[in-house]
Amino acid sequence: MLSGLTACPGLFYTTPAQDGILFRLRIPGGILDSKQCRAIADIADQYGAGYVDVTNRANIQIREIDGKINTAVLEYLQDMGLGSRNTAVDHIRNIMTSPTAGIDPQEMINTRPLVKSWDDYIEAHPALSKLSAKFSVCFDGGGIVRVSDRLNDIAFAAVLVDGKVYFRLHLSVGAKGKPPVAMGILLSPEQCLPALAVLTNVYLNHIDPNSRRKSRLREVINSLGCESYLQEVEKSLPFTLFTTEDQVRKGQFFGLFVEKSDNQYQHIGIHPQRQKGLFYIGVVLPLGRLESRQMRGLADLAQRYGSGTLRLTPWQNLLLTDIPQERLGDIQREIAFLGLDYSANNIKSGLVACSGSRGCAAAATDTKGHALALAKYLETRLTLDCPVNIHFSGCEKSCAQHGKSDITLLGVSNGKMESYHIYVGDGDNNQKFGRELYQYVSFDELPALVEQMLKVYLIKRINSRESFGEFANRYVIAQLKQFFSPDMALYQARITTLCKEHR
Ligand code: SF4
C-alpha cells in the first residue's frame, strides 16, 4: 500500500498543509451512504480536528491530521468503498457529474452508470496511474442542475437529437482556466466510454510519464492541434466520430445545447424529484465545512427519512434525497436542529473560500475567517432572495473555485494589512477573476463595501432572475464605482468607523 507525501492529496497520498496533514477521499459522483458518512466522521474525530471539508469536485478532505493513520485504517476505508482498490490511481481527480443524476425531473439521461463504469475502468488499468493528477472528466445528463460548464479536461454533455439522447464532447483547449469547448462531435451513450478510453490513451502517448509535472490535456491539444488529436483518436476507435458541425450550422441542433447553468445554486432548498412524491433537500454547508457530529446527524436523517444516501455537490453543499412529501416538515426541523440551513437566501449558500492562511502557506489572507465574518456581518443587514456567489481566494491559484463567480475577493499582501482586490462579473481572456473593481481593500473596509454592492444590486437588477454578475456586466466599471461608493474617501472613512463599532 502506498502512503507518502505528494503535491496531490489522496487517501494513500497525503499532503502537508499549514494546519497539518491533509487526506482527500475521492467520492466518484459525490454519492455516499450513511455507513460511509459515519466512518468518515469517526476518522475526522480520531485523527483530525472533528470536521471535514467538501471540495469543489465533491471530494471530502480531512484536515489537521497528525500523520499517524495506520495501514489497517486505510484498508478499512478502502473496504468501505472510500478509496480506490488500486492505490496507484487514487490520486486522479474525482469524476464529476450532476449531484441530481437519476433524480432530476428534467434530465435526459442518468449519468451515474457512466461514472461507475469510468471509475471501474480507471481501477482496472494501472497504466492510468501515469495520468496527470489533474486529469478530470465530467458527465452531464442535461438536467436542471448542470455541471458541463465546470472546469474539466473532458466533458460529455447530454443533448436530445430527434428524440434520442447523445453526448456532446467537450475538450479543454486554449487558455488556462476556461471551461472545456464543444468539439462539434456527438456520441451515443454506448460510445462515450470507448471514446474516453482512447482520448485518454492518446493523451498519455504524448506526455512524459516520468515527469513530476505532467502536461495537461489542454497543453497537449494546444500543441498538436484539435484536429490532429481527434484524428489520432478516431484511428483507434471502431466507429467514426459523428461530426455534427454541418448540421449545427444548418440550425438543426441550435436551442438544444445549454452550455451553462442559469443558476449554479438551484439545488439548494426543497425540490421535487423525477420519482413521484419524493423530494430532495439541498443543505447549505458554510464554506463546505461539516462538523463530524453534523455528518453523523445527516447520515441518520438520510437513513430515517430517505434512501440512506447523501450527495456531495461541486458547489460544496450536499443533498438529502428520496424524502416523501409528508416527511418534509420533520426533516426540515431536524436539519435546523443540527445547526444547518437549506435556504438559498442564506448568504452562506453562495459563499466559497479556499483554505486561506490557516491551512495554506501561499495565502495572503485568512480567507475562511474573513468569509465567515463577512457572512455574519451581512446576515443582519440585508436579505437576499437568490444566492450571490462570493469567492474568497488566498492567492491567484484559485483552488476553491475555478470557474467565474459573481464577486471574487483575491487576497493580496499590503504590508501588514490583509487586503483584497475585488473583481465582478465576466472578464476577458486575460481577466481570470472577472473585471477589476477595486484594489487593496482592507478587510476592515470590506464588509460595508460588499453590503453596499449587494444593496445596489437588489435595487437596480432587471428582475430577481438577474444574477449579481449579470447585473455588473451591464455597466462599465466607472458606473459601478459610482453606484457603490460615490465618494470613496468619505465612504472609506465611514465604513472604517462602522466596522470598528461592530467589532
Ligand atoms: S488558492 Fe492559493 S492560498 Fe488558497 S488554498 Fe489554493 S494555493 Fe493556498
| Residue-range domain boundaries for the chain | 108-141+149-259, 269-343, 348-502
- 364 CA: nearest ligand 1 atom: 3
Pairing of strands 96-97, 390-393: unpaired
What pLDDT, in 10s, does the model give residues 1-46? 444 444 556 666 667 777 778 888 888 889 999 999 999 999 999 9
Which residue's entry shows cell 473583481? 423
Report whether residue 360 contacts ligand 1, using a CB cutoff of 6 Å: yes
- 395 CA: nearest ligand 1 atom: 2
Which residue in 389, 404, 429 sits closest to 149, CA to CA? Answer: 404
Q: What are phi and psi of 395, to 5 degrees?
A: -160, 180
Give burial (CB, 10 Å; 0-12/13-18/19+) of 264.
buried
- 367 CA: nearest ligand 1 atom: 4
Q: Which of 8, 354, 413 to mutate to test the pocket of ligand 1 (most atoms within 8 A of CB)?
A: 354
Report whether residue 381 contacts ligand 1, using a CB cutoff of 6 Å: no
Architecture of domain 348-502: 2-Layer Sandwich (3.30)
Q: Check residue 10 and give its pLDDT.
A: 67
Helices 189-205, 226-235: crossing angle, 10 deg rounding: 110
Q: How far is the CA of 117 from the centre of ligand 1 (A)?
A: 32
Report whether residue 354 contacts ligand 1, using a CB cutoff of 6 Å: yes
Q: Check residue 89 and give its pLDDT.
A: 79
CATH of 269-343, one of 3.40.50.12780, 3.20.20.100, 1.20.120.140, 3.30.70.3340: 3.30.70.3340
Task: Give the span between the Cα atoms of 338 and 457, in whole angstroms.
Answer: 32
Q: Check residue 132 and give its pLDDT.
A: 87
Q: Check residue 324 and give its pLDDT.
A: 97
- 411 CA: nearest ligand 1 atom: 3
Task: Give the span between the Cα atoms of 192 and 183, in whole angstroms.
Answer: 14
What pLDDT, in 10s, does the model give residues 52-99? 999 888 889 888 887 677 788 888 888 888 877 777 777 788 899 999
Q: Check residue 11 and give its pLDDT.
A: 67
Same CATH topology for 108-141+149-259 and 269-343?
no
Q: Check residue 487 and give its pLDDT.
A: 58
Q: What does pLDDT average to in each consecutive run of 10 residues of the chain (503 residues)?
A: 50 72 86 95 91 90 81 85 79 90 95 95 90 91 89 93 89 86 90 96 91 89 93 91 57 44 75 96 94 97 96 94 96 96 88 89 93 94 89 90 87 84 81 87 92 94 91 93 71 50 49
Q: Helices in 168-313 by DSSP H: which ranges?
A: 189-205, 217-224, 226-235, 245-249, 292-305
Neighbours of 101 (CB within 10 A): 25
Pairing of strands 390-393, 351-353: parallel
CATH of 108-141+149-259, one of 3.40.50.300, 3.30.1490.20, 3.30.413.10, 1.20.140.10: 3.30.413.10
